[in-house]
């Protein structure tokens, strides 16, 4: 079942009754809204005058809902996840913690290959030459010691938006449309982190990322091949000639469609939310030693 992504960008009082999230608004003419908690996957809280009860927060986390809070610039800033996402969590934590270095390098090799191939597909759809990208993907070694990920990224960002924007530079604090990319990646990160917890793993312990200040290293690893799906949404927004200098409701609505974007795993099409569950489940199987292949999505 596809879980809903709920966005709250106006003043509201959020509570719970009968296992439902209930939203009430100051405007008396605006009716309250109800959503079954079991149908929710991500909640985005983007207003300083939002109030939510402890009872609601407890129920959301119990049902493995990822709660995202936003800052004064309306960009996602915080992420809250359930600490007990799987009934055999200790066993799965142990398998993850005991994963060998060669295994983690192999998993990163698969991750980089999948990311480059998805980037290549997106460039090819824009009429760009991608023989070099496909070559780099095929040359990625265990742990990517030659940094083909970096080479591919430099070429990819040089070409992806060139028909829409001159001299684009990808950077978290660089000019637009980096704000759109940052927003989309934050949603993606929440989806991946939620599914990692649901698969019984610690999103902190990465296979490649290991910054001691990063609480979501594994989420940042596993989301890499999914990033081009965010890039695709942003590219479509640019082609529509929308105002990208602020995160307008229309832009946010488009980016919030990310969890239901169709992706393909093993020739089967599924929404990204469900496909990412397959990815995180396959990651646990790799840690457990029952397989060595990660199930990453593609565009086709």
Q: Give the pLDDT of residue 86.
A: 65
243/222 same-domain check: yes
201/274 same-domain check: yes
Are the C-beta atoms of residues 188 and 276 closer than 8 Å to each other? no
Q: Kindly state the helix (H) or strand (E) to which residue 69 belongs, with its residue range.
A: strand 66-70
Q: Give the pLDDT of residue 189.
A: 96
Are the C-beta atoms of residues 253 and 242 closer than 8 Å to each other? no
177/69 same-domain check: no
154/257 same-domain check: yes
54/147 same-domain check: no
201/59 same-domain check: no
75/112 same-domain check: no
Residuewise pLDDT in 10s, the chain (300 residues): 779 999 999 999 999 999 999 999 998 778 899 999 999 999 999 999 999 999 999 999 999 999 999 998 888 889 999 887 666 788 999 999 999 999 999 999 999 999 999 999 999 999 999 999 999 999 999 999 999 999 999 999 999 999 999 889 999 888 899 999 999 999 999 999 999 999 999 999 999 998 888 889 999 999 999 999 999 999 999 999 888 888 899 999 999 999 999 999 999 999 999 999 999 999 999 999 999 999 999 999
Q: What six digits make up the tokens of 141? A: 């070694």
Q: The CATH number of the domain where 246 resides is what?
A: 1.20.120.920
57/143 same-domain check: no
Q: What six digits make up the tokens of 17? A: 């009754």
**For residue 300, is it within any domain?**
no
Residue 217 makes CB contacts below 8 A (sequence gap 6+) with 203, 204, 205, 206, 208, 209, 210, 211
Q: Interhelix angle for 178-198 vs 227-239, to 10°?
A: 150
277/209 same-domain check: yes
Q: Interhelix angle for 131-139 vs 148-159, to 10°?
A: 160
Q: Give the pLDDT of residue 169.
A: 93
73/168 same-domain check: no
What CA dihedral angle connects 277, 278, 283 and 285, to 10 degrees? 120
Instruction: For residues 259 and 272, give the distance between their C-alpha atoms in angstroms, rounded to a whole number.
Output: 5
DSSP 254-272: HHTTGGG-EEEETTEEEEH
Q: Which of 80, 106, 128 is the last residue of a domain?
A: 80
135/208 same-domain check: yes
Q: Which residue range is the domain that position 72 belongs to?
A: 4-80
Q: Give the pLDDT of residue 75.
A: 82
Q: Give the pLDDT of residue 117.
A: 98
Q: Which of 31, 60, 80 is the last residue of a domain?
A: 80
DSSP code for 32: P
Residue 239 makes CB contacts below 8 A (sequence gap 6+) with 164
């Amino acid at each position: 079942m596809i879980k809903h992504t709920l966005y709250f960008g106006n003043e509201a009082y959020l509570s719970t009754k009968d296992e439902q999230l209930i939203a009430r608004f100051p405007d008396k003419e605006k009716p309250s809204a109800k959503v079954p908690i079991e149908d929710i996957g991500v909640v985005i809280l983007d207003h300083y005058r939002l109030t939510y009860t402890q009872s609601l927060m407890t129920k959301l986390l119990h049902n493995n809902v990822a709660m995202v809070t936003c800052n004064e610039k309306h960009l996602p800033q915080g992420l809250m996840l359930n600490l007990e996402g799987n009934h055999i969590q200790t066993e799965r934590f142990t398998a993850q913690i005991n994963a060998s270095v060669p295994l983690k390098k192999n998993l990163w090799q698969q991750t980089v290959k999948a990311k480059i191939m998805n980037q290549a597909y997106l460039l090819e759809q824009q009429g760009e030459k991608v023989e070099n990208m496909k070559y780099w993907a095929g040359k990625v070694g265990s742990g990517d010691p030659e940094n083909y990920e970096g080479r591919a990224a430099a070429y990819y960002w040089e070409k992806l938006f060139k028909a829409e924007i001159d001299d684009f530079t990808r950077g978290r604090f660089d000019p637009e449309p980096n704000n759109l990319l940052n927003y989309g990646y934050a949603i993606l990160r929440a989806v991946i982190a939620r599914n990692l917890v649901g698969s019984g793993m610690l999103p902190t312990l990465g296979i490649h990322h290991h910054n001691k200040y990063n609480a979501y290293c594994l989420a940042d690893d596993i989301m890499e091949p999914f990033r081009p799906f965010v890039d695709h949404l942003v590219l479509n927004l640019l082609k529509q000639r929308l105002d990208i200098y602020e995160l307008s409701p229309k832009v946010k609505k488009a980016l919030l469609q990310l969890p239901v974007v169709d992706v393909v795993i093993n020739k089967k099409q599924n929404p990204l939310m469900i496909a990412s569950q397959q990815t995180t489940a396959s990651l646990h199987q790799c840690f457990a030693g029952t397989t060595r292949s990660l199930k990453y999505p593609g565009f086709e």
